[in-house]
Chain A
Amino acid sequence: MKPNQSIRVSHMLRGIEDPVLIISTDKQVVLNANGKAIEVLANGKTSQLRGLPLQLAYGGERQDAFPKPLPPAFMLPVSQNGEISLIDFRVSPLKIEGKKYWLAIGRKVEQAEELQKKLQDLEQEKSLQQMKVQFMSMTSHEFRTPLTAISSAMDLLEARLQLDGQLSSFHRLQLRKMADEIFQLNAMLDEVLTLSKIAGNNWEADLKPVLPEQIIETLRYQYFSQRKDDRSLLISIDGEPRPILADKDQLAKVFTNLISNAFKYSTQKNPSVKLQYKKKKLVITFRDHGIGIPESDLPYLFTSFFRGSNVDGIEGTGLGLSIVKTFVESNHGTISVSSGVNEGTTFTLVFQEFADAI
């Protein structure tokens, strides 16, 4: 290497934090080494490294380590402050002004203790995340009790005003608005809690055999019966029901969300759920006859905080469908949607992992 080239290369290597060597291809002489390499390989003595064959530079102890051509990787033990550690060098060819060299960049191999520490840090971070999720879970649970006390006090106020013949349409409207906001806040609590679980990686699907229609029946009984508009959820099943492998809670959240949407974005006909047990898959379709989704909105439908351009005034956070997609996929399912404005929307879920297949 010409002297001016050598200076240019030295300058370039100076800024690199890892030890770097430039080695000739013929006699494997160390032509250049950066400060870090000199520090860790030659205890800071340039003359013990530069200009010497690699083997010699290394005290001749590693005669077998440097075959020709140089292998793509080699390791060198180094002693620093009385501790032995390993430097793992990766080798690649380097061409400067038509001449070939080897470029070797080293990285200290993590010692067991350091790995242990990193593992501990990770564990600590994980338990912090878990604490965060627990805190969110507790908070959202604790929020519900005062929310219920507020809504019951409002119900009482309305009942008392009515009894006293003082309930005007103005009172009724304002009380309705307050109640709507309370339930909106409650829905947000649910979604924030679910999102905090997802963000904390605390949502791995616990796959067990479940019968989806049982979950849907429970949800229909719990949330979608005795509606003030007298509509109900129609459920139909094709084929022989058999359990799929899925996380029951996550599946319940997916179904609750899709059924709530079906009621929320339609007003006349009953929404329906159809379960089709086929030979190798279960297809579940959720159908409503409501306002539909404009075609231009469809690509963004499963994005967090996105809401359709035609939802005017219908409450929502824009988080539900992004949670739905995350959970469907974590249960090895797929979700697709077809929709037409004012014709209604159909969400299709496909699950292929049956419990009897294992």
Chain B
Amino acid sequence: MNNTILLIEDKPSLSDALKSLLELHQYTVATAANGEEGIRAARKLRPGLVISDIYMPVLNGLDLLDSFRDDPALQDIPVVMLTARSEIDDIQQALERGAAGYVTKPFLFKNLHAVIRGIFEKQL
């Protein structure tokens, strides 16, 4: 199983804590601070899963979903959206544009982990 996770989040304090938590659970974690950096890193690393914030500078998470869907090299990588927005339209839009999961901030790590595990298990 490809257990590399690419974490795209512009806030370092959150990104650092999440990276450490994921590493404690034996994932290999790479980070990027915005959507554009995220796409470059994804092409290079081919992660097993991407966790991405929605509201970020340069390229937001919803546009990132479109880029992943349109790129044959990236379209099979599941993307979990991590966002402070919980309006039903946002959730539906993310799911319609191909998100594999949607976790609203703030969250308990175990809930995010359950979503990640569910996606990896589906891939097996």
Residues of A within 8 A of B (CB): 141-142, 144-153, 155-156, 159-160, 163, 179, 182-183, 186, 190, 215, 218-219, 222, 226, 248-249, 252
Contact = CB atoms under 8 A, between A and B. Distances in A.
Contacts of B87: 249, 252
A148 B14 contact: yes
A159 B13 contact: no
A219 B40 CA distance: 33
A10 B85 CA distance: 66
A152 B109 contact: yes
B105 to A, nearest CB: 4
Which interface class (under 10, 10 to 19, 20 to 34, 35 or more) fits B? Answer: 20 to 34
Interface string B79-96: 000001111110110010
A125 to B, nearest CB: 26
B124 interface: no
B114 A226 contact: yes
Given A155-B17, A159-B24, A147 B106 contact: yes
A222 B105 contact: no
Contact of B106 (A141, A186, A218, A248): A186
B14 A149 contact: yes
B104 A141 contact: no
B88 A252 contact: yes
Interface string B91-124: 1100100000010111111110011000000000
B104 A222 contact: yes
B17 A248 contact: no
A156 B89 CA distance: 32
A226 B111 contact: yes
A182 B102 contact: no
B11 interface: yes
A141 B108 contact: no
A144 B19 CA distance: 19
Nearest to A186: B106
Nearest to A190: B86
Main secondary structure of the interface of B (DSSP, over half): helix
**What secondary structure prevails in chain A residues at the interface with B?**
helix
Contacts of B55: 141
Nearest to B105: A148
Interface string B25-62: 00000000000000000000000000000010000000
B24 to A, nearest CB: 5
Nearest to B102: A222
Contact of A215 (B21, B88, B104): B88
A331 to B, nearest CB: 14
B24 A248 contact: no
B13 to A, nearest CB: 4
Contacts of A148: 14, 84, 105-107
A216 B85 CA distance: 18
B3 interface: no
A219 B86 CA distance: 10
A226 B107 CA distance: 13
A183 B107 CA distance: 8
A86 B102 CA distance: 64
Contact of A147 (B85, B86, B91, B105): B105
Contact of B89 (A160, A222, A226, A248): A248
Contact of B108 (A153, A155, A163): A155
Given A152-B109, A159-B21, A222-B102, A249 B89 contact: yes
A147 B55 CA distance: 16
Contacts of B75: none
Contact of B13 (A142, A144, A153, A190): A153
B92 A152 contact: no
Nearest to A160: B24
Contact of B21 (A156, A179, A249, A252): A156
A152 B17 contact: yes
B53 to A, nearest CB: 9
